[in-house]
Amino acid sequence: MSTASAMKNTGHSRASICRGCWDQMRVPIPIRGPLALPFRAFGIGRSKMNPNICTICERSFRYVKKKRHITARATILFADIRGFTALSERVETVRLSECVSLFQDRCAQAIWAHDGIVNKQMGDGLMAIFNFPIEIKDHASAAIMAALDIQQYCTAALRSLSSDLGALPGNAFGVGVGIHTGDVEIGEFSSFRSDFTAIGGAVNLAARLESQAQAGEVLMSLETATLAGELAKGAETRLLQLKGIEQPVQATVLISIDA
């Protein structure tokens, strides 16, 4: 089987070569199996952003794209635990860390299953990028499906934890998600860290949408909903006044069945 065929047949499974390096450079960098061993000796292994990409993608953006940053079309997802601040005032630090670990692990599973990367983890929140470095034709739909999986994986588990602690009413504790699709600048923006990230208005809008999502909700922009087709069909819309954005923003609201 050719390398290209092997990549196409991996789907959401464990790829044997880095899907980011393949999609961006058509270079087959082994990340699993015996052929990966020599690369590990030089510090090239699986990335923490997604186990199907390698640390070349994660840390050496300039070598992959031959420049410090590029403009790319991507879908950005932010997720955050609702009720976390109130919970932190009522429970001990060890149990709080269990809550964060559960959230981060379940979110990562959902994002990786749809070929996204966990670009930033920020305590009780995270940021994910879809369509870089792994190319995804329907990246808006991939992000939405990941968001729905996040709600499915996280909501029941977090509420069960909250119930065990006797900390918060069930409907006050859960996950809020915001998604937006647009042009972003992706690259290295610090002289001290080599990991790449995405910046720009599209990233800010996704973060603002997440800040307005209630526990169990997924809020997506009109741009994302339009690309999503059937996934957003018949969903409620909400007009939001978002911080730092002059005009009201129309958001499509998907509500978790467990909300």
The one-letter amino acid code at 204 reads: N
Each residue's pLDDT tens digit, 66-105: 788 889 999 999 999 988 887 777 778 887 888 899 899 9
Q: Give the C-alpha separation, 195 to 101, whole Å.
A: 22
**Hey, is 221 helix, strand or coil?**
strand
Residue 173 CB neighbours (<10 A)? 25
Strand duo 117-122 + 69-82: pairing: unpaired
Each residue's pLDDT tens digit, 124-165: 999 999 999 999 999 999 999 999 999 998 877 776 666 666
Mean pLDDT (the chain, rounded): 86
CA distances from 94 to 56, 90, 101, 128, 158 (A): 34, 12, 11, 26, 15
Q: Which residues contact 218 (CB under 8 A, 6 or more apart)?
A: 144, 147, 148, 151, 177, 178, 179, 253, 254, 255, 256
The residue that leads in pLDDT, 8 or 30, is 30
Task: Please say whether the beta carbons of 40 and 160 come within 8 A.
Answer: no
**50 CA to centre of own chain:** 10
Q: What pLDDT sits at residue 9?
A: 43
Q: What average pLDDT does this structure show over 232-241?
A: 89
- Is the link from the previous residue into 30 a cis peptide, with omega within 30 of 0? no
Each residue's pLDDT tens digit, 29-68: 999 999 999 999 999 999 999 999 999 988 777 777 778 8
Q: What pLDDT sits at residue 166?
A: 59
| Percent over 70 (pLDDT), the chain | 87
pTM of the full structure: 0.90
Domain boundaries along the sequence of the chain? 3-59, 70-255
Any idea which residue has 């992000």 for tokens? 143
| Phi, psi for residue 7 in degrees, rounded to 5 | -65, -40
Residue 190, pLDDT > 90, answer no
Architecture of domain 70-255: 2-Layer Sandwich (3.30)
Q: What pLDDT sits at residue 5?
A: 43
Q: What pLDDT sits at residue 92?
A: 80
